[in-house]
Chain A
């Protein structure tokens, strides 16, 4: 029913606008011309051979996550950062060409004002 309504709206069926769920959130499905659902769930970019793992302590709340995230993201040789608040685990995707060094990552955590428990480089 919802798909029919969406397809009746000009441009929606043409552009494959993401569907909106009853909860108001975007789903990971698109409506194509044949009304088939195609998953666009992004693959995990943190591949083992390029990902450093850090364990950080002292993240008192969600606001703290951005402090760590931002400090590491600006390090040269870092492509992506993911902070898991409940465990303090930080995954850092390193560049292919000139990856950030262990010392760079240790300094970034220090500048964020939190304690680095341990670090594992790929």
Chain B
């Protein structure tokens, strides 16, 4: 039996599923859910695959909804020059299960979200040690109306922002701010501020090996969003990353520590797992 969705509810669920995705970055010593001011070298290509499981709930006029979503996000990162990078991100909702706990009615669906074409331009770089650097990048791009009706917006939405990274051997700090202009119709015309603070620590090794170095990083992030409809969310996100010269494996859990929501579904937790490959 299909669950009919009111237009307003549909908008809320799109916001939940597509805009709440992780960072567009694919570099190492990079937080999992935030951006980083590191870029591939000229001609360098990084492919990132993430899987995200989200458990959420939403109080609608139709009843209490329980929402489980599994999303796959492909990200391609290509270095056009040593200071300018193109990023293409493609979200796919593998499965979204909505159960109305009030009526017992449920539905399941899937589909593509909107593609994001982003870029990063490095404005500042200070490499102050063999394994230490401070950098600032401008971020700009657009979310394209390429997704399915259920999981995408019908407008070209510009995104602008910046990211600062400070990495001093075992310690890494990242801060980013992004603003998304929603150019869609009035019903869904909500702009979004995304902001992140992240710290990562190299658990092992204390000193890198000279040959085939690898590393295990622990990270702690604060990931926030604030929308012009007064919806606000802030997540605490611990994570782990194992980094080699060619690939990275990583996992994270995002736990809400502050939520003030009207239109957006309330995420209870998000579990992320990902891989990155460098070519």
- Residues of chain A touching chain B, judged by Cβ–Cβ distance below 8 Å, are 55-71, 84-88, 110-115
- Number of CB contacts from chain A to chain B under 8 A: 107
Contact residue among A57, A60, A69, A111 (Cβ-Cβ distance under 8 Å from B28): A60
* In contact, A60 and B128 (Cβ under 8 angstroms): no
Please give me the residue from chain B that is nearest to A66 by CB atom: B245
Contact residue among A57, A70, A71, A85 (Cβ-Cβ distance under 8 Å from B128): A57
Contact with A along B15-39 (1 / 0, CB 8 A): 0000000000001110000000011
CB distance from A84 to the nearest CB of B (A): 5
Interface CB pairs A-B, < 8 A, 8: A57-B130, A62-B213, A85-B131, A86-B207, A88-B131, A111-B82, A113-B41, A115-B127
CB distance from B251 to the nearest CB of A (A): 17
CB distance from B186 to the nearest CB of A (A): 43
* In contact, A86 and B210 (Cβ under 8 angstroms): yes
Please give me the residue from chain B that is nearest to A86 by CB atom: B208
* In contact, B243 and A113 (Cβ under 8 angstroms): no
- The interface size of chain B toward A, counting residues with CB under 8 Å, comes to 39
* In contact, A63 and B172 (Cβ under 8 angstroms): no
Instruction: Name the A residues within 8 Å of B42 (CB-CB).
Output: 71, 111-113
Contact residue among B28, B39, B122, B128 (Cβ-Cβ distance under 8 Å from A61): B28
| Residues 224-258 (chain B) with a chain A CB within 8 angstroms | 243-246, 248
CB distance from A32 to the nearest CB of B (A): 27
Please give me the residue from chain A that is nearest to B130 by CB atom: A88
Instruction: Name the B residues within 8 Å of A55 (CB-CB).
Output: 130
Q: A57-B128, A113-B41 are in contact. List 10 more A-B contacts (CB 8 A).
A: A58-B130, A60-B133, A61-B28, A61-B167, A61-B215, A62-B208, A70-B41, A84-B210, A113-B79, A113-B125
Please measure, in the bound complex, the distance between the C-alpha atom of A85 and the C-alpha atom of B243, giving whole angstroms. Answer: 13
Instruction: Name the A residues within 8 Å of B130 (CB-CB).
Output: 55-59, 85-88
CB distance from A9 to the nearest CB of B (A): 29
Instruction: Name the B residues within 8 Å of A66 (CB-CB).
Output: 245-246, 278
List the 3 closest A-B pairs by CB distance, nearest first. Answer: A58-B127, A88-B130, A63-B28
Instruction: Name the B residues within 8 Å of A63 (CB-CB).
Output: 27-29, 243-245, 248, 278
Confirm or deny: B274 has a beta carbon within 8 angstroms of a beta carbon on chain A.
Answer: no
Please measure, in the bound complex, the distance between the C-alpha atom of A62 and the C-alpha atom of B215, giving whole angstroms. Answer: 7
Confirm or deny: B129 has a beta carbon within 8 angstroms of a beta carbon on chain A.
Answer: yes
Confirm or deny: B83 has a beta carbon within 8 angstroms of a beta carbon on chain A.
Answer: yes
Please give me the residue from chain B that is nearest to A74 by CB atom: B43
Please give me the residue from chain B that is nearest to A110 by CB atom: B82
Assuming the contacts A62-B214, A63-B28, A111-B42, asked whether A57 and B133 have C-beta atoms less than 8 A apart, the reply is yes
Please give me the residue from chain A that is nearest to B40 by CB atom: A67
Assuming the contacts A57-B133, A60-B131, A61-B243, asked whether A113 and B248 have C-beta atoms less than 8 A apart, the reply is no
* In contact, B245 and A62 (Cβ under 8 angstroms): yes
Instruction: Name the B residues within 8 Å of A60 (CB-CB).
Output: 28-29, 38, 131-133, 167, 172
Please measure, in the bound complex, the distance between the C-alpha atom of A64 and the C-alpha atom of B248, giving whole angstroms. Answer: 12
Confirm or deny: B44 has a beta carbon within 8 angstroms of a beta carbon on chain A.
Answer: yes
Please measure, in the bound complex, the distance between the C-alpha atom of A34 and the C-alpha atom of B157, giving whole angstroms. Answer: 73
